[in-house]
Structure 1
Amino acid sequence: MTTFSGVNIPKVSHVNDASHWYISELTHRLVEKSGISNDRYHVGKIILESLKDDPQFVLQIDGATGESENCGSVLKRSVQCANGLRKLGLKSGDVMILMAPSHLDLAIPIYAALYLGITIAPIDRLLKVSELQDIFHIDNPKAIFCQNERLADVLEASKILDVKPEVITFDKGDQVLNFADFLENYGNDVSVEDFRASDFAPSSTIIFLINTSGTTGKPKSAATTYRSYAISMPYLWERFTTFPTPTRLVVIVSPLQWMTAVFNFVGSAVFKFTRLQSSLPITQEHAYFLFNKYKPSYMILSPTMMTTLVTPGDREKCDFSCFETILIGGSAVSKNLIEEVKKITPKADVFAAYGMSESTTMIFQHGNTPAGSCGIPSGLFMYRLIDPLTGEDIHEPNVPGELRLQSPVLFSGYYNNPEATAATLEDGWLKTGDIFYRDENWNFFFVDRLKQLLKYKNHQISPVEVEGVIRQHPSVLDVAVVGIPDPECGDLPVACVVPKPGHTIVPQQIKDLVKNTLVDTKQLRGGVIVMSELPLTATTKLHRQKLQEIVLTAKRE
């Protein structure tokens, strides 16, 4: 029974059992063959079984090259890769780092690692040496897969730390083993029929380390177990009724280090849907090319990326009518953005999605939820809203508080960081650091990040609220509000505004809009900055740390 602050919730999202029945049947076959009850949580064995079911099914397409690969080929190559990893001495619990674009080779070491119980750490492929050092120090990888152009930085970071991981490049190079030679020379002595996945304890073995440094400081690696991930898998697909192949074609527009990309790399093999990805960067132009040519049906992406795609004057170049489901998440999703997307996707269900690396999967489910809502409670979680000032539970609707969660799928902690783990997990409850409120119908609405709330003379200001007002200006494409420190007042809000193409923004108009809409304590006392673009992380989220640095030195009007 799902609860909210200890009280049973009368309205829990549960659309149908199709995804659960599908996983149950698949894992029942596994356990029946092996006699090992824990195999129902062995994600690698689940993928092996599923790939064998339909070898001719087209699993992945590289939209940049037009190349595709079916399940039979992926199965053969991933088994070769697993054999090779075993020869290199990798075993259950070892960490393997992946840093590469989404070409057709990327999935192969992912599946191979899952067969062996290896921990996968996908990271930003553009990180500099000092950033690689930070992550290598935490994750202590035994193997690294990267492009040859990044090899020098990988080797330098490893040398500084005095670690010696096995490094394999996906493309040709002359310093280390390349991927094609690795499969040929290390993986060919065991056939698919004779290959056996490794046995290990899914409840204690880490499946993924997801980097959560994001925008604010030193990296942390959120660790999720094989068991937690296996339990979570069917919940993302509860809205769908046909399995296998719940949707025709899923396009991946986020890099691998974002959890939603991980969902789709694993989910495509388990639930048997075709995955459209690209070995080229996903720019607006390239996304339009992919959509127009391949007509994908499903997509998860960030609000910033979605804003770019629906830019008036540009969006007319693309046919969005193919989409049936679009989830927008990773940061605050405005009601205005949802409405703009619905204008160009008449057949699609468009939702504001909410999840985090520490929760393993999406935290709310979607049905007939109002625009701007992140959804209603899922049967997978228990929920609380906590007053950040008093620490007391909030029971009433329409009162904001910090969201806290309890679930069997929560992350097990930050890898090699007990202090950060203790600060985030309290008596089994995950402190999300996000402010939400719920309405009378149990629809939950995101307010802001607790750490991003500004305080002006003891009055709290939500940047998201101010941004929502500014987005109403007809010339505004995107906006972010941050604060500059003031010794007497605390934080002075600054609006960083990106105009729509061909439009001009007058800063005073932005100030007047806020003045005429919000109370005096929420005014833009720090000024307005007109920018050509906002700084983004590799996962297309707003890079607040960089923006904060820009704001401190930029001309504010």
Structure 2
Amino acid sequence: MGCGDMVLMAPSHIDLAIPFYAAFYMGVIVAVVDRTLGVEELRGTFAVDRPKIVFCQSEKAPDIQLALNELELDTKIVTFDKGEFLCSFSEFLEEYNDGTSVEDFKPNDFDPEDAIALLIATSGTTGLPKAAAVTHKNFAINGPYLWSRCTTFPAPTRMALVGSPLQWLTAIMNFILSPIMKYTRLQTSIALTQEHAYDLINTYKPTFAIFSPTLMTTLIKPGDRDRCDFTSLELVILGGSAVPNDLIKEVKEISPDTEVMDCYGMSELSCIGFHGDGSSPPGSCGSPMGCFQYRLINTETMEDILEPNVPGELWIKGPGIFKEYYNNPEATEETFAEDRWFKTGDTFYRDAAWNFYFVERIKLLLKYKSNQISPVELENVIRQHPGVLDVAVTGIPDPECGELPVACVVRRPDSDVTAQDIKDLVKETLSDSKQLRGGVIFMSAIPMTASTKVHRRKLKEFALVLDKE
């Protein structure tokens, strides 16, 4: 393989670090995907990424092979465990070992400003698969700022608990930073449930962890939290969705010596968006970082908001911003304003001291546990049913899981399509995280705005009060 070739990695596995780091040295592009994707979703991913090698577990190999066959891709599958008629990782290393010593190995030459290091899966309001192309320079610029808050560089922490799968920016950054900053990465190959998190924290005593607000809420649930010793945690970062102030206060009450931060980041930033520390006001994501420039934009007038405490869309610019959406020039052009200002799609406001506060996500992406769910993707699947005239998907809040997808469906005249029919269609087509756990609501019409767009706010209000099947 050479510079610009693609290698795709699906699982969280301890040996994953070997091809991950090797690809960086070779200038090979790493694409990371959700290991729970089904055949149709994998086919969509492969159509964009077109990898030469896929690293995965043997249980996932059949689905991957089916998706590759549909696209007629001659891609090698390497599994971290052994499987019948499969190439294991140990066999792969033996097959391609040319005897080069570590001392004699030379990385490939490439332009770090232009060469893509990673493709990070993301999805916008279109619901179509997109991959944010992040260059070597992006990571080199942003990396030091992640720990600029620390005075003990290069060892800001002893052990970081990495519960998120590799397709999440938090896991990627810890893969990159742990050898540079000399801390141990505590990684799990299975989903980070409440019980598993308790076991990891009690056994290994990590000093740093990144959790979603929903997982943190589960971990500190009254009646359960006494089973976990949180005192080893010097720093806990909460992010991925809006962080309630009460949650931060409750964590501090349980473990007073633990610093708790509200963090904002995006795949497209290849980094967190703000510098935060213990002095940040409650509810704030922090203050501006030196590697970025910031603007708040009134989306109706497209003018800059210069006053404090006025919400607007956050735009960010800097050398760490991702290069493009891979093989998707239309989406790239849409997301960048003039002079490469990146439009985050998120609403923020700032106070007089330039602390920034997250308000809401303009984009429609739902968050179920650690999974991102596109309402449009679900809608496109449900519309395939011949008995469905129209559909809109929204989410209802859940304290344990974040949001549960709800399908609001308009039947065709004389159609007898049932809620179970809709759920079965989704189950046959999409992965487990995208199932309609919030239920199905049958309506006479989808609420619309004056401009004939789906009225998302009213839709959510209806979903909260109407009977769901």
What TM-score, normalized by structure 1, do the two folds share?
0.67
Higher alpha-carbon deviation: 153-162 or 329-338: 329-338
In 1, Cα distance between the equivalents of 2:247 and 2:163?
Answer: 18
1:220 and 2:153 correspond: no
One-letter amino acid of the counterpart of residue 166, structure 1: K
1:251 and 2:251 correspond: no
In 2, Cα distance between the equivalents of 1:213 and 1:191?
Answer: 42
Cα distance, 1:493 vs. partner? 9.8
1:372 and 2:283 correspond: yes
One-letter amino acid of the counterpart of residue 331, structure 1: S
Match of 1:327 in 2: 237
1:442 to 346, 354, 363: 354
Partner deviation per Cα, 1:70-116 (whole Å, 9 max, x = no partner): xxxxxxxxxxxxxxxxxxxx111111110012x32111110111110
In 2, Cα distance between the equivalents of 1:494 and 1:122?
Answer: 26
1:161 and 2:91 correspond: no
Query: Structure 1 residues 498 and 359, CA, compared in 2 at 3 Å: closer, same or farther?
Result: closer
In 2, Cα distance between the equivalents of 1:423 and 1:120?
Answer: 24
In 2, Cα distance between the equivalents of 1:232 and 1:135?
Answer: 27
Match of 1:13 in 2: none
In 1, Cα distance between the equivalents of 2:125 and 2:360?
Answer: 15
1:283 and 2:193 correspond: yes
1:98 and 2:9 correspond: yes
Equivalent runs, 1:149-188 vs 2, <5 Å = 149-187=59-97
In 2, Cα distance between the equivalents of 1:157 and 1:234?
Answer: 39
In 2, Cα distance between the equivalents of 1:544 and 1:120?
Answer: 25
Query: Structure 1 residues 313 and 211, CA, compared in 2 at 3 Å: closer, same or farther?
Result: same
Match of 2:28 in 1: 118
Cα contact 1:382–1:405 (8 A) shared by 2: yes
2:344 to 427, 432, 444: 432
Query: Structure 1 residues 494 and 278, CA, compared in 2 at 3 Å: closer, same or farther?
Result: closer
In 2, Cα distance between the equivalents of 1:231 and 1:323?
Answer: 28
Give the match's secondary structure for 1:251. Answer: strand
Number of residues paired by the alignment?
A: 392
Match of 2:296 in 1: 385
Cα distance, 1:495 vs. partner? 5.2
Cα distance, 1:187 vs. partner? 2.0
% identical aligned pairs: 49
One-letter amino acid of the counterpart of residue 349, structure 2: Y
In 2, Cα distance between the equivalents of 1:545 and 1:445?
Answer: 32
1:147 and 2:62 correspond: no
Partner deviation per Cα, 1:106-135 (whole Å, 9 max, x = no partner): 111101111101111111011100000000
Cα distance, 1:213 vs. partner? 2.7
Match of 2:176 in 1: 266
In 1, Cα distance between the equivalents of 2:170 and 2:151?
Answer: 21
In 2, Cα distance between the equivalents of 1:94 and 1:326?
Answer: 37
Cα distance, 1:244 vs. partner? 3.1
One-letter amino acid of the counterpart of residue 355, structure 2: N
Match of 1:197 in 2: 107
Cα distance, 1:347 vs. partner? 1.1
Cα distance, 1:177 vs. partner? 1.3
Higher relative contact order structure (alpha carbons within 8 Å, sequence separation ≥ 6) = 1
Query: Structure 1 residues 552 and 319, CA, compared in 2 at 3 Å: closer, same or farther?
Result: farther
Give the match's secondary structure for 1:239. Answer: coil
Query: Structure 1 residues 344 and 152, CA, compared in 2 at 3 Å: closer, same or farther?
Result: same
Match of 2:213 in 1: 303
Q: What RMSD, in angstroms, separates the aligned Cα atoms of the two structures? A: 2.6
Cα contact 1:215–1:544 (8 A) shared by 2: no
In 2, Cα distance between the equivalents of 1:279 and 1:221?
Answer: 23
Cα contact 1:115–1:197 (8 A) shared by 2: yes
Partner deviation per Cα, 1:477-522 (whole Å, 9 max, x = no partner): xxxxx9xxxxxxxx9998545589xxxxxxxxxxxxxxxxxxxxxx
Cα distance, 1:382 vs. partner? 0.7
Cα distance, 1:451 vs. partner? 3.4
Match of 2:321 in 1: 410
One-letter amino acid of the counterpart of residue 136, structure 2: Y
Equivalent runs, 1:52-63 vs 2, <5 Å = none
One-letter amino acid of the counterpart of residue 429, structure 1: W
One-letter amino acid of the counterpart of residue 446, structure 1: F
> What are structure 1's unaligned runs of at least 5 residues?
1-89, 454-462, 465-481, 483-490, 501-542
Match of 2:417 in 1: none
One-letter amino acid of the counterpart of residue 377, structure 1: P
Higher alpha-carbon deviation: 342-351 or 153-162: 342-351
Match of 1:539 in 2: none
In 1, Cα distance between the equivalents of 2:86 and 2:393?
Answer: 52
One-letter amino acid of the counterpart of residue 241, structure 1: T
Equivalent runs, 1:495-534 vs 2, <5 Å = 496-498=397-399
Cα distance, 1:246 vs. partner? 1.8
Cα contact 2:214–2:400 (8 A) shared by 1: no
Query: Structure 1 residues 342 and 552, CA, compared in 2 at 3 Å: closer, same or farther?
Result: farther
Equivalent runs, 1:417-496 vs 2, <5 Å = 417-427=328-338, 428-452=340-364, 496=397
Cα contact 1:215–1:545 (8 A) shared by 2: no
Cα contact 1:291–1:319 (8 A) shared by 2: yes
Query: Structure 1 residues 374 and 416, CA, compared in 2 at 3 Å: closer, same or farther?
Result: same
Partner deviation per Cα, 1:183-207 (whole Å, 9 max, x = no partner): 1232251111111111111111100
Cα distance, 1:261 vs. partner? 0.1
Give the match's secondary structure for 1:376. Answer: coil
Cα contact 2:396–2:438 (8 A) shared by 1: no
Partner deviation per Cα, 1:220-266 (whole Å, 9 max, x = no partner): 00001111111111010111122332211111010100000000011
Cα distance, 1:174 vs. partner? 2.5
Give the match's secondary structure for 1:432. Answer: strand
One-letter amino acid of the counterpart of residue 7, structure 2: M
In 2, Cα distance between the equivalents of 1:94 and 1:391?
Answer: 40
Cα contact 1:216–1:544 (8 A) shared by 2: no
Match of 1:362 in 2: 272
In 2, Cα distance between the equivalents of 1:136 and 1:216?
Answer: 18
